[in-house]
Structure 1
Amino acid sequence: MQTAAESAPGNSTILSRAAEIGPLLREHADEVESARRLTKPVIDALRSTGVFRMAMPKIWGGPELDIFEQIEIIETLSRADASAGWCAMIGSDSGYYSGYVDDATARSLYPDLDAVTAGWISPAGTLEVCEGGYRLSGRWSFGSGSTHADVITGGARVTENGVPRITADGTPEFRIAMLPAARWQVLDTWNTTGLAGSGSHDYTITDAFVPAENTWFPGETHRSGTLYAWRGMFVANVVGVPVGVALDACETAADIIAGKVLMPQMTPASDEPRMRSGIARARALVGSARSYAHDTIGSLWTTVEAGDEPTFQQRADLAGCYVHTVSTCRDAVRILVDTVGTAAIRKTCPLERQLRDLTTLGQHIVGQELMREWAGGLYFGRSPSMPVL
């Protein structure tokens, strides 16, 4: 374990390193997509930036970056490649997850500040009660970064003698289990339209012993500080991915238009009103989504920083902000593709991949219409089944 004396890089260092590796991420994007996982040069580059440690606590020697600093770093990486940005966002959850269990357990799971976490917290498995803990079995989907993870998580329903255990409020009990990645089996299932390089394969485990101290439930925390005070904070940096992708798409489209001559009229594309309008519309969409995300997250952060619980309206705003950011950025890139024309349908054009990446991201829970429905319910004081909202 790195000590406080060997302090991790702070925001400015991680951010500058994230920008520096942009060319490498772009260079390897085709290879990453073809491999359907991050390749070693990309993993090593990401690890060298310190992005995986950015939520690690200062008491461990970590930078403990606030949520806005994290978003900016994820946005920077996602400009270069969505899959790399997505995996960096997921992998950096280590700083949060290590605070959900006691310190001794956390340090055994995370002996390195740069350890990567992957996995799904929804209860797709079962935790059968046994002496000292549980026996875990199940199969989970969307294990982004599981091919290079150090720790993998899996949400599971708690059973006792094969019968689901019910909580005091009448709902089935579930917990999230964390074990070293070597204990799990990653299945080769990730064949998708976009985010292909994220390696979001299914993964499984069968009748594996999990010590009780290796499990937790959203809301449990062993840490103080604003970053760890609210159960859903670890999700908030997701907005950096669609925004980063869309911002880069705006620049790519502008560069294409600047060098394009329209046929058969033989006039500069940048003189064409519809071209100018397309760029302006896309820029406004991305900028408005980015601003709304920062305002929404900022309001919630201020509340948590004051030691208060987020209101139903703040939680509703955040849930709606997630799906709005994803869908708006996707719409902006679609406008750019239509504006640029045939150049955008070529595999050599970044816009082609960026639209596919955002289309796939739109199928994640943060981009689905269900998230908007949950947001609407929260406005009426109804908490969703999603325990991180």
Structure 2
Amino acid sequence: MVVDAPAVTNPTSLARGLRELVRAEAAESERLRTLAPAIVEGMWASGLMASFNPVAAGGVEPSFTEMIETWIEMAWQDGSFGWIGIANLPSSFAAAAYLPDDGFAEVFTANANRVTMGGQFFPNGTGEAGDGGFRLTGAWSFGSGTGHAEYVAAGFMPTDDGQPRLLAEGVPDMRVAIVPRDEVIFEDGWHVQGLKGTGSYDYAIQDVFVPESRTFELFARTPVRGASPATRMGLMPVTAAGHASWALGVAKSMLDDVQELAATKFRMSDMASLASRPTFQKGLAHHVAAWRAARLLVLDAFTCAEAAVAAGGELTPVLRADMRVAAVYATDVARACAEWAHLAAGTSSIREGSRLERAFRDIYTGTQHAFISEKVAIDAAQIWLGVIDDQFGL
């Protein structure tokens, strides 16, 4: 009797299976300025696109370790592919976990869970409340993954009679609206140095009615669906893990590529290969070690918080600060590794179309993101020091 092989449910394995496709289509993604259709289809055909979702939305609810390793793998293959991983996958994860039942049925169930979603969650819009929903207006920049998304996420602040709605003293209500693509106005603003293939378009929404059932709280931690600890930790930790993993993945691609190059690389007027030079050997040892240490820090911070929540504990401000600092630190280390690899490779790293050249542009674009900025580290340190009790944005 022939027994069918079990379906692969580990998202890291699903991502690894796309290596040849991503390599073949990376240049096309850059040319199109959005992810090549063949890669998008490959993500759906493999099951990767929905894999981070709650089970009810076609996902497998991976652990943080699985998410981190998947994102590292995707970014190692190509920076734009990896960025789509930290844009589309968390967007649908959050919507599937936190949308009310009516909204989930409209967005996910009605589309047989084949829902690609991207956008900007920062509350750059306003939504006047009334008639069971919000009249949404706003403009958002860097809507990652919107080039191929059927639904667009848009962060906004609800208003009542034009006044911002407050949850507590000085803390505004912040929500996310899920809007069909045909109700969104896209701007052709994605002309950038790196991450060209991500379709991170600017977009606007003008006086569009969004039913409340297609909105959820930006900082929601009580899932309507999903049993994994991640669904009880909210979008901020998932996003932070994504940024850290993405930077580590791109940096690893550069470290691996320069190590492979070293055996055949000879500098002008130098008869010794790059691999035989002690300065290169020392630099490689240092930066590979730094990369490994940063990866372990990320895994430790996020799995410790995950374990606390799994055991029924609170996601304390300190745990949240630990995760965000790990993400900032890993990004800084990854950037330093990428710079060293770029310099060590010499002219090989400046030829257009090579993985090294593309990765260098990508990492200096992606690490500009506010989510892993100096301000985040300062906020976290202030929690450690007791200067502030909490920072709700962490």
Tell whether the 8 Å contact from 1:275 to 1:340 is kept in structure 2 after alignment. Answer: no
Tell whether the 8 Å contact from 2:248 to 2:334 is kept in structure 1 after alignment. Answer: yes
Structure 2 counterparts to residues 148-159 of structure 1, below 5 A: 148-159=148-159
- Overall identity of the aligned pairs, in %: 29
Moved more, 92-101 or 121-130: 92-101
Tell whether the 8 Å contact from 1:344 to 1:352 is kept in structure 2 after alignment. Answer: yes
CA distance, structure 2, for counterparts of residue 207 and residue 201 of structure 1: 20
Tell whether the 8 Å contact from 2:237 to 2:320 is kept in structure 1 after alignment. Answer: no
Structure 2 counterparts to residues 170-181 of structure 1, below 5 A: 170-181=170-181
CA distance, structure 2, for counterparts of residue 117 and residue 382 of structure 1: 34
Tell whether the 8 Å contact from 1:10 to 1:65 is kept in structure 2 after alignment. Answer: no
Does 1:101 pair with 2:128?
no
Gaps of 5+ in 2: 1-5
Residue from 228, 231, 246 that aligns with 2:231: 228
Tell whether the 8 Å contact from 2:124 to 2:139 is kept in structure 1 after alignment. Answer: yes
Tell me how far 1:168 sits from its aligned partner.
Answer: 3.7
Partner of 2:62: 65
Tell whether the 8 Å contact from 1:25 to 1:42 is kept in structure 2 after alignment. Answer: yes
Residue from 360, 363, 368 that aligns with 1:363: 368
Tell whether the 8 Å contact from 2:324 to 2:372 is kept in structure 1 after alignment. Answer: no
Tell me how far 1:60 sits from its aligned partner.
Answer: 4.7
Q: Give the aligned residue type for 1:373.
A: I
SS of structure 2 residue aligned to 1:28: helix
Q: Give the aligned residue type for 2:390.
A: S
Moved more, 324-333 or 374-383: 374-383
Give TM-score scaled by structure 2 length. Answer: 0.91
Partner of 1:189: 189
Task: Map Cα deviations across residues 57-90 of structure 1 (whole Å, 9 max, x no partner).
Answer: 2245531212211221221121111111111221
Partner of 1:281: 286
SS of structure 1 residue aligned to 2:97: coil
Q: Give the aligned residue type for 2:389.
A: R
CA distance, structure 2, for counterparts of residue 10 and residue 107 of structure 1: 27
Q: Give the aligned residue type for 1:214.
A: R
**How many equivalent residue pairs?**
379
Partner of 2:348: 343
Moved more, 130-139 or 87-96: 87-96
Partner of 1:216: 216
Q: Give the aligned residue type for 1:153.
A: A
Tell whether the 8 Å contact from 2:54 to 2:96 is kept in structure 1 after alignment. Answer: no
CA distance, structure 2, for counterparts of residue 200 and residue 224 of structure 1: 28
Cα distance change on mapping 1:267 and 1:224 into 2, 3 Å: closer
Does 1:259 pair with 2:264?
yes
Gaps of 5+ in 1: 1-7
Structure 2 counterparts to residues 1-389 of structure 1, below 5 A: 10-12=8-10, 14-93=11-90, 94-110=92-108, 111-217=111-217, 218-219=219-220, 220-223=222-225, 225=227, 226-231=229-234, 232-235=236-239, 236-379=241-384, 380=386, 381-386=388-393, 389=394
Moved more, 78-87 or 173-182: 173-182
Task: Map Cα deviations across residues 302-359 of structure 1 (whole Å, 9 max, x no partner).
Answer: 1111111122221111111111111210110101111121211221432222121111
CA distance, structure 1, for counterparts of residue 170 and residue 274 of structure 2: 63
CA distance, structure 2, for counterparts of residue 374 and residue 150 of structure 1: 35
Tell whether the 8 Å contact from 1:46 to 1:88 is kept in structure 2 after alignment. Answer: no
Cα distance change on mapping 1:336 and 1:212 into 2, 3 Å: same
SS of structure 1 residue aligned to 2:166: coil
CA distance, structure 2, for counterparts of residue 366 and residue 292 of structure 1: 18
CA distance, structure 2, for counterparts of residue 209 and residue 54 of structure 1: 30
What RMSD, in angstroms, separates the aligned Cα atoms of the two structures?
1.9
SS of structure 1 residue aligned to 2:134: strand
Tell whether the 8 Å contact from 2:317 to 2:391 is kept in structure 1 after alignment. Answer: no
Q: Give the aligned residue type for 1:328.
A: V
Tell whether the 8 Å contact from 2:34 to 2:196 is kept in structure 1 after alignment. Answer: yes
